[in-house]
Protein backbone atom coordinates (compact mmCIF):
# COMPACT_ATOMS: atom_id res chain seq x y z
CA UNK A 1 0.00 0.00 0.00
CA UNK A 2 2.83 2.44 0.83
CA UNK A 3 4.37 1.91 -2.62
CA UNK A 4 1.05 2.64 -4.30
CA UNK A 5 0.52 5.70 -2.13
CA UNK A 6 4.02 7.01 -2.87
CA UNK A 7 3.55 6.42 -6.59
CA UNK A 8 0.21 8.26 -6.69
CA UNK A 9 1.55 11.08 -4.56
CA UNK A 10 4.58 11.59 -6.80
CA UNK A 11 2.51 11.45 -9.98
CA UNK A 12 -0.16 13.87 -8.72
CA UNK A 13 2.30 16.42 -7.32
CA UNK A 14 4.36 16.42 -10.51
CA UNK A 15 1.23 16.40 -12.67
CA UNK A 16 -0.28 19.50 -11.06
CA UNK A 17 2.98 21.39 -11.39
CA UNK A 18 3.71 20.20 -14.93
CA UNK A 19 0.23 20.90 -16.29
CA UNK A 20 0.44 24.55 -15.30
CA UNK A 21 4.02 24.92 -16.49
CA UNK A 22 3.64 23.09 -19.81
CA UNK A 23 0.22 24.57 -20.53
CA UNK A 24 1.68 28.04 -20.09
CA UNK A 25 4.55 27.26 -22.46
CA UNK A 26 2.35 25.51 -25.03
CA UNK A 27 -0.50 28.00 -25.28
CA UNK A 28 1.37 31.28 -24.93
CA UNK A 29 2.77 31.41 -28.44
CA UNK A 30 4.15 34.34 -30.39
CA UNK A 31 0.61 35.17 -31.50
CA UNK A 32 -0.68 35.15 -27.91
CA UNK A 33 2.42 36.44 -26.11
CA UNK A 34 0.55 39.42 -24.66
CA UNK A 35 -1.60 37.29 -22.36
CA UNK A 36 -0.95 34.92 -19.47
CA UNK A 37 -2.10 31.40 -18.74
CA UNK A 38 -4.56 32.94 -16.25
CA UNK A 39 -5.92 35.18 -19.04
CA UNK A 40 -6.46 32.07 -21.18
CA UNK A 41 -8.54 30.54 -18.40
CA UNK A 42 -10.65 33.69 -18.21
CA UNK A 43 -11.15 33.51 -21.98
CA UNK A 44 -12.16 29.86 -21.56
CA UNK A 45 -14.68 30.77 -18.83
CA UNK A 46 -16.25 33.45 -21.05
CA UNK A 47 -16.66 30.89 -23.81
CA UNK A 48 -17.76 31.15 -27.41
CA UNK A 49 -20.88 32.62 -28.99
CA UNK A 50 -22.68 34.15 -26.02
CA UNK A 51 -22.47 37.11 -23.72
CA UNK A 52 -22.05 36.34 -20.04
CA UNK A 53 -22.42 38.66 -17.11
CA UNK A 54 -19.42 39.35 -14.91
CA UNK A 55 -20.84 37.52 -11.87
CA UNK A 56 -21.35 34.31 -13.86
CA UNK A 57 -17.73 34.33 -15.05
CA UNK A 58 -16.37 35.32 -11.63
CA UNK A 59 -18.30 32.46 -10.01
CA UNK A 60 -17.04 29.96 -12.61
CA UNK A 61 -13.47 31.04 -11.85
CA UNK A 62 -13.99 31.27 -8.05
CA UNK A 63 -12.78 34.89 -7.98
CA UNK A 64 -14.36 38.15 -6.88
CA UNK A 65 -15.94 40.49 -9.40
CA UNK A 66 -13.26 43.04 -8.47
CA UNK A 67 -10.47 40.61 -9.34
CA UNK A 68 -12.18 39.69 -12.59
CA UNK A 69 -12.72 43.36 -13.48
CA UNK A 70 -8.99 44.04 -13.33
CA UNK A 71 -8.26 41.10 -15.66
CA UNK A 72 -11.11 42.02 -18.03
CA UNK A 73 -9.86 45.62 -18.28
CA UNK A 74 -6.54 44.26 -19.52
CA UNK A 75 -8.16 41.78 -21.94
CA UNK A 76 -10.39 44.54 -23.37
CA UNK A 77 -7.34 46.77 -23.97
CA UNK A 78 -5.55 43.92 -25.70
CA UNK A 79 -8.53 43.22 -27.95
CA UNK A 80 -9.59 39.79 -26.64
CA UNK A 81 -12.83 40.74 -24.87
CA UNK A 82 -15.81 43.03 -25.51
CA UNK A 83 -17.61 44.62 -22.58
CA UNK A 84 -21.15 46.01 -22.86
CA UNK A 85 -23.58 47.35 -20.23
CA UNK A 86 -27.09 45.96 -20.24
CA UNK A 87 -29.70 48.30 -21.71
CA UNK A 88 -32.28 47.03 -19.18
CA UNK A 89 -30.07 47.34 -16.10
CA UNK A 90 -26.96 49.51 -16.40
CA UNK A 91 -25.42 47.82 -13.34
CA UNK A 92 -25.10 44.58 -15.31
CA UNK A 93 -22.02 44.22 -17.51
CA UNK A 94 -21.86 41.58 -20.23
CA UNK A 95 -18.61 40.27 -21.61
CA UNK A 96 -17.94 38.26 -24.75
CA UNK A 97 -14.96 37.32 -26.87
CA UNK A 98 -13.81 39.31 -29.87
CA UNK A 99 -12.66 37.38 -32.97
CA UNK A 100 -9.11 37.57 -31.51
CA UNK A 101 -10.43 36.18 -28.21
CA UNK A 102 -12.26 33.37 -30.03
CA UNK A 103 -9.02 32.45 -31.79
CA UNK A 104 -7.21 32.31 -28.43
CA UNK A 105 -10.07 30.20 -27.03
CA UNK A 106 -9.78 27.69 -29.88
CA UNK A 107 -6.00 27.56 -29.47
CA UNK A 108 -6.40 26.75 -25.75
CA UNK A 109 -9.15 24.23 -26.50
CA UNK A 110 -6.84 22.40 -28.92
CA UNK A 111 -4.16 22.10 -26.23
CA UNK A 112 -6.71 20.50 -23.92
CA UNK A 113 -7.93 18.18 -26.70
CA UNK A 114 -4.38 16.96 -27.32
CA UNK A 115 -3.83 16.49 -23.56
CA UNK A 116 -6.97 14.36 -23.23
CA UNK A 117 -6.16 12.26 -26.29
CA UNK A 118 -2.68 11.56 -24.90
CA UNK A 119 -4.20 10.63 -21.51
CA UNK A 120 -6.60 8.02 -22.85
CA UNK A 121 -4.42 6.69 -25.66
CA UNK A 122 -4.19 2.92 -25.43
CA UNK A 123 -6.77 2.58 -22.66
CA UNK A 124 -9.68 0.18 -22.98
CA UNK A 125 -13.22 1.40 -22.34
CA UNK A 126 -13.10 -0.16 -18.86
CA UNK A 127 -9.76 1.48 -18.04
CA UNK A 128 -11.12 4.81 -19.28
CA UNK A 129 -14.19 4.42 -16.99
CA UNK A 130 -11.89 3.66 -14.03
CA UNK A 131 -9.70 6.68 -14.82
CA UNK A 132 -12.78 8.92 -15.07
CA UNK A 133 -14.03 7.58 -11.71
CA UNK A 134 -10.65 8.20 -10.04
CA UNK A 135 -10.40 11.74 -11.43
CA UNK A 136 -14.02 12.41 -10.44
CA UNK A 137 -13.18 11.33 -6.88
CA UNK A 138 -10.23 13.74 -6.86
CA UNK A 139 -12.38 16.51 -8.28
CA UNK A 140 -15.03 15.88 -5.61
CA UNK A 141 -12.34 16.09 -2.93
CA UNK A 142 -11.26 19.53 -4.18
CA UNK A 143 -14.84 20.74 -4.68
CA UNK A 144 -15.62 19.81 -1.07
CA UNK A 145 -12.75 22.03 0.06
CA UNK A 146 -14.64 25.20 -0.85
CA UNK A 147 -14.92 26.83 2.52
CA UNK A 148 -12.28 27.90 4.99
CA UNK A 149 -13.80 25.54 7.55
CA UNK A 150 -13.18 22.42 5.41
CA UNK A 151 -9.65 23.56 4.59
CA UNK A 152 -8.87 24.21 8.26
CA UNK A 153 -10.27 20.80 9.15
CA UNK A 154 -8.05 19.19 6.53
CA UNK A 155 -5.01 21.11 7.82
CA UNK A 156 -5.68 19.85 11.37
CA UNK A 157 -6.03 16.26 10.14
CA UNK A 158 -2.78 16.53 8.17
CA UNK A 159 -0.92 18.08 11.12
CA UNK A 160 -2.28 15.43 13.52
CA UNK A 161 -1.21 12.63 11.16
CA UNK A 162 2.27 14.17 10.74
CA UNK A 163 2.91 14.13 14.51
Q: What is the tens place of the pLDDT at every residue in 109-134?
A: 998 999 999 999 999 999 999 999 99
* CA gap 72, 56 in Å, rounded: 13
User: Does 147 have pLDDT greater than 60?
Assistant: no
Report pLDDT for 37.
87
Interval 91-113: pLDDT, tens: 888 999 999 999 999 999 998 99
The H or E element that residue 156 is part of is helix 148-162
- What does pLDDT average to over the chain? 87
More confident residue, 15 or 160: 15
Report pLDDT for 33.
87
Report pLDDT for 32.
87
- Percent of the chain surpassing pLDDT 90: 51
The H or E element that residue 53 is part of is strand 52-53
Sheet holding 93-97, edge to edge: 52-53, 93-97, 81-85
List the one residue out of 40, 28, 21 whose CA is nearest residue 101: 40
Amino acid sequence: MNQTYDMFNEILVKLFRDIMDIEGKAIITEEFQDISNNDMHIIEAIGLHEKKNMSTVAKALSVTIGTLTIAINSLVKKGYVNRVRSEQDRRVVYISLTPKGEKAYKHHEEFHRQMILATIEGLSEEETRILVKALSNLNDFFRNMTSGREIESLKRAVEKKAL
